[in-house]
Structure formats: C-alpha cells, structure tokens
Amino acid sequence: MTELSEQQLQHDRKIIEDAFKDIDEGKLLTEEDMEKRFGKYGWHK
C-alpha cells in the first residue's frame, strides 16, 4: 500500500466529512429525484 502524507490524509478526511454534511443538509438526490429531474435525458432508460 502506498503511504500517504499527513496533508493527503487531511485532504481526504475533509472530502469525506463534506460529503456527510451534504447528506445531513439534504443536498443529495434519491434515485426517484434523479429520474424526475434527468429522465428526459435518459436517466434510467
């Protein structure tokens, strides 16, 4: 396994924590929401 620097680990940790913030704030779309918004572009076809 490749060793990561402390800076790389902090960067990765921030990305993961930011993703959880999106979930907590309801910023993620469900499959149904995606189909409603993007169905006309071929989502789920």
- Asked whether the beta carbons of 37 and 29 are under 8 A apart, the reply is yes
Identify the pLDDT of residue 45: 67
Identify the pLDDT of residue 44: 77
Residue 15 lies in a domain: yes
- Give the model confidence (pLDDT) of 1-45 as tens digits: 578 899 999 999 999 998 889 888 888 888 899 999 999 999 876
Residue 30 lies in a domain: yes
Residue 18 lies in a domain: yes
Under 8 Å CB-to-CB from 45, ≥6 apart: which residues?
39
Q: Which two tokens mark 26?
A: 């309801």
Residue 45 lies in a domain: no
Identify the pLDDT of residue 7: 93
Distance between CA 38 and CA 40 in Å, rounded? 5
Q: Which two tokens mark 19?
A: 């993703």
Domain holding 32, by residue range, is 6-38
- Entry pTM: 0.49
Q: Which two tokens mark 24?
A: 């907590």
Residue 28 lies in a domain: yes
